[in-house]
């Protein structure tokens, strides 16, 4: 009995020492944002001067009329944005507009507005800001838009496949203070000003490498009901990205095929 009495305090002391040495409980870490790996993967493509091809379809309703445009082309990427692009838009009537941009120089072709002199295939446009890619473009590979999407509510689920590639579907809706259109697409602004704001409901399918494979957006202007037939109402766009990292080049057209800007 005396031995048991001696051991009991020792056990109690040992237990207290063990408790004192135990590491403190840590607070649960927040779940990683599902867009983080997508943003990181796209950043690597830009910093690695990669490239990607795409096809797209958009439906826009403006001034009371809806029209459909299909697009196709390619982008060469650089750490500062796009180093080059070549994009062709074709409307329902078969009228097309093509713009190729390398650095600060742009060249265009179209079969509606700008008949070219005999023997010429391109029109030199020089530096045209409205032809250029910027961080305010609504696009699934635009880091500016991806940052905006990550800043507002979004979720991730299993997304089936896109052209045979298993994908994760990320989706959400963002509100913006301003929306406007230029040749590359719809631009957004988070600052109030002279533009009509709206909402962008987006879905992005990312592959196992976290790179976007498909992007779908419904962009709706906050026009008052009585103004629905006086400006933009909505634009719906669907874009497929293919051949990430493809080793193609986009070059200036041959000089002899280029007509000067009028």
Helix (H) or strand (E) holding 122: strand 122-126
pLDDT of residue 247: 87
Query: What are the pLDDT tens digits along the chain (262 aa)?
Result: 343 343 344 444 444 444 445 555 555 556 689 999 999 999 999 999 999 999 999 999 887 789 999 999 999 999 999 999 999 999 999 999 999 999 999 999 999 888 899 999 999 999 999 999 999 999 999 999 999 999 999 999 999 999 999 999 999 999 999 998 899 999 999 988 767 899 999 999 999 999 999 999 999 998 765 565 556 789 999 999 999 998 899 999 999 999 998 7
Cβ atoms 140, 204 nearer than 8 A: yes
Cβ atoms 120, 104 nearer than 8 A: no
DSSP one-letter code for 27: P
Helix (H) or strand (E) holding 179: strand 178-182
pLDDT of residue 228: 56
Q: Model-level pTM?
A: 0.85
Tens-digit pLDDT profile for residues 64-86? 789 999 999 999 999 999 999 99
pLDDT of residue 223: 73
pLDDT of residue 8: 43
Question: How many CB atoms are located within 10 Å of the residue 234 CB?
Answer: 17
Tens-digit pLDDT profile for residues 117-139? 999 999 999 999 999 999 999 99
Residues counted in the chain: 262
């Amino acid at each position: 009995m005396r031995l048991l009495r001696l051991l009991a305090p020792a056990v109690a002391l040992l237990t207290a020492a063990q408790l004192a040495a135990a590491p403190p409980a840590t607070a649960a870490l927040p779940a990683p944002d599902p867009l983080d790996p997508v943003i990181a993967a796209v950043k690597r493509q830009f910093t690695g001067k990669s490239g990607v091809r795409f096809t797209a379809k958009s439906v826009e309703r403006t001034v009371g009329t809806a029209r459909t445009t299909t697009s196709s082309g390619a982008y060469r990427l650089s750490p500062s944005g796009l180093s080059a692009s070549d994009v062709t838009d074709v409307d329902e009537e078969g009228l097309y507009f093509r713009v190729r941009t390398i650095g600060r120089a742009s060249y265009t072709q179209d079969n509606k507005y700008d008949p070219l002199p005999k023997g010429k295939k391109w029109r030199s446009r020089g530096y045209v800001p409205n032809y250029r890619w910027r961080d305010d473009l609504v696009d699934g590979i635009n880091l500016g838009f991806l940052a905006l999407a990550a800043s507002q509510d979004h979720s991730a689920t299993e997304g089936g496949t896109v052209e045979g590639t298993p994908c994760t579907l990320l989706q959400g809706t963002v509100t913006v203070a301003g929306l406007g259109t230029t040749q590359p697409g719809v631009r957004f602004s988070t600052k109030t000003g002279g533009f009509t704001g709206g909402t962008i409901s987006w879905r992005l399918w990312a592959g196992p490498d976290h790179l976007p494979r498909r992007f779908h957006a419904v962009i709706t202007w906050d026009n008052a009901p009585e103004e629905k037939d006086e400006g933009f109402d909505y634009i719906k766009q669907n874009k497929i990205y293919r051949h990430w990292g493809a080793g193609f080049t986009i070059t200036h057209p041959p000089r002899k095929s280029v007509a000067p800007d009028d």
